[in-house]
Amino acid sequence: MPLTILFAASGEGWARYEAPLRAAFAEEGLDVTLGTDLAPESVDYIIYAPNSEVQDFRPYTRLKAVLNLWAGVEDAVDNPTLTVPFARMVDDEGLTQGMVEWVTGHTLRHHLGMDAHIVNPDHEWRHVAPPVSADRPVGILGLGELGTACGLALTRLGFPVTGWSRSEKTVDGITCLNGRDGLHETLSNAQILILLLPDTPVTQNTLNAETLAMLPYGAFILNPGRGPLIDDDALLAALDSGQIAHATLDVFRTEPLPRDHPYWDHPQVTVTPHIASETRPPSAARAIARNIRRNETGEPMLHLVDRDAGY
């Protein structure tokens, strides 16, 4: 009997995902009935985006698990009707590679001082060489799958990388710290700071007036993680004072970023429109099909959300 799998995401997701999902299920040897309008009592799995119209999971009485299309789960993790296993989108090589490329590109941009050469209307001969990568410490807040992948990519370019996480981690080539003292040490050394923490009540406003002041004067900030990690008013003040030289931001508390937000016109802010880590349908479909096949064959599912931790 085929598995019945509901695709529940708003917008144009179905048109982009239908063919890759069917191909991925066939590759995993799964016989499935896949669609967007299925009787709730017949559904075994839901492929899900939190912006879906599906918000009440109680009618899905046969449901085995929900597989998120996004890396972020903060909009669904507290749903009291979602009681079955809930998997994050992590094991997607396209999502991970996209994040690594965005982080590496903008790290190199700030490390090399590329902006001064790309935009130079006065034709100034700015003969100032940057330090080599070994002399530019990088800090990463968050050592999950994405933070670890980005940190390892930067170490291969010669950057000394310190990573901070809430729980103890060990990653070859990265100095791994945790706890309050570890956070302070990570910040105090980071000439370039990258935020890749999840959005939870504990991580909101991780960068605030106090922690921004711990960074070396003139540090750079990259935030491809979550908008609420930063106290926006505190960051704007730190940019105006020169404490922070530049902030490149991909995520925001409100998205799309309102047209009148101060970030748009601030000369030391770069806004990118939440593109650092987009889920790619072919690789995401393979990750979803692989996880469902694991569950059907008695293997543990990967990347299940810890509801107590919030991610």
**pLDDT of res. 277:** 85
59 and 181 in one domain? no
Prediction pTM value: 0.86
The token pair at 81 is 């009707």
Told to judge if 226 belongs to the known catalytic residues of this protein, a careful annotator would answer yes
What pLDDT, in 10s, does the model give residues 128-161?
A: 899 999 999 999 999 999 999 999 999 999 999 9
Q: Do 84 and 65 form a contact (C-beta atoms < 8 A)?
A: yes
The token pair at 6 is 């509901």
User: Which range marks the domain in which residue 45 is found?
Assistant: 3-92+279-296
136 and 223 in one domain? yes
Q: Would residue 303 count as lying in a domain?
A: no
How would you class 279 by CB atoms within 10 Å of its CB: exposed for 0-12, middle for 13-18, buried for 19 or more? buried
283 and 136 in one domain? no
Q: Do 288 and 47 form a contact (C-beta atoms < 8 A)?
A: yes
**pLDDT of res. 240:** 98
Q: Is the pLDDT of residue 92 over 80?
A: no
**pLDDT of res. 20:** 97
- Report the C-alpha gap between 290 and 157 in whole angstroms: 32
What pLDDT, in 10s, does the model give residues 154-192?
A: 999 999 999 999 999 999 999 999 999 999 999 999 999
What pLDDT, in 10s, does the model give residues 45-82?
A: 999 999 899 999 999 999 999 999 988 898 899 999 99
**pLDDT of res. 91:** 65
155 and 16 in one domain? no
The total number of structural domains in the chain stands at 2
- The percentage of residues in the chain with a pLDDT greater than 90, rounded to a whole number, is 90
Q: Is the pLDDT of residue 120 over 70?
A: yes
Q: Which of 16, 261, 266, 274 is catalytic?
A: 274
Q: Would residue 306 count as lying in a domain?
A: no
Over the chain, what is the mean pLDDT? 95
244 and 100 in one domain? yes
Average pLDDT score over residue span 104-127 = 95
Write out the chain in H/E/C secondary structure.
Answer: CCEEEEEECCCCHHHHHHHHHHHHHHHCCCCEEEECCCCHHHCCEEEECCCCCCCCCCCCCCCCEEEECCCCCCCCCCCCCCCCCEECCCCCHHHHHHHHHHHHHHHHHHHHCCHHHHCCCCCCCCCCCCCCHHHCCEEEECCCHHHHHHHHHHHHCCCCEEEEECCCCCECCEEEEEHHHHHHHHHHHCCEEEECCCCCCCCCCCECHHHHHHCCCCEEEEECCCHHHECHHHHHHHHHHCCEEEEEECCCCCCCCCCCCHHHHCCCEEECCCCCCCCCHHHHHHHHHHHHHHHHCCCCCCCECCCCCCC
Q: Is the pLDDT of residue 257 over 70?
A: yes
Q: Is the pLDDT of residue 231 over 70?
A: yes
Q: Would residue 305 count as lying in a domain?
A: no
Q: Which of 106, 136, 226, 286 is catalytic?
A: 226
CATH number where 16 lies: 3.40.50.720
Q: Which residue has the higher pLDDT, 151 or 277?
A: 151
Rg over alpha carbons for the chain, rounded to the nearest Å, is 21
Lowest mean pLDDT among 88-102, 126-140, 206-220, 223-237: 88-102
- Report the C-alpha gap between 2 and 298 in whole angstroms: 17
**pLDDT of res. 72:** 85
102 and 62 in one domain? no
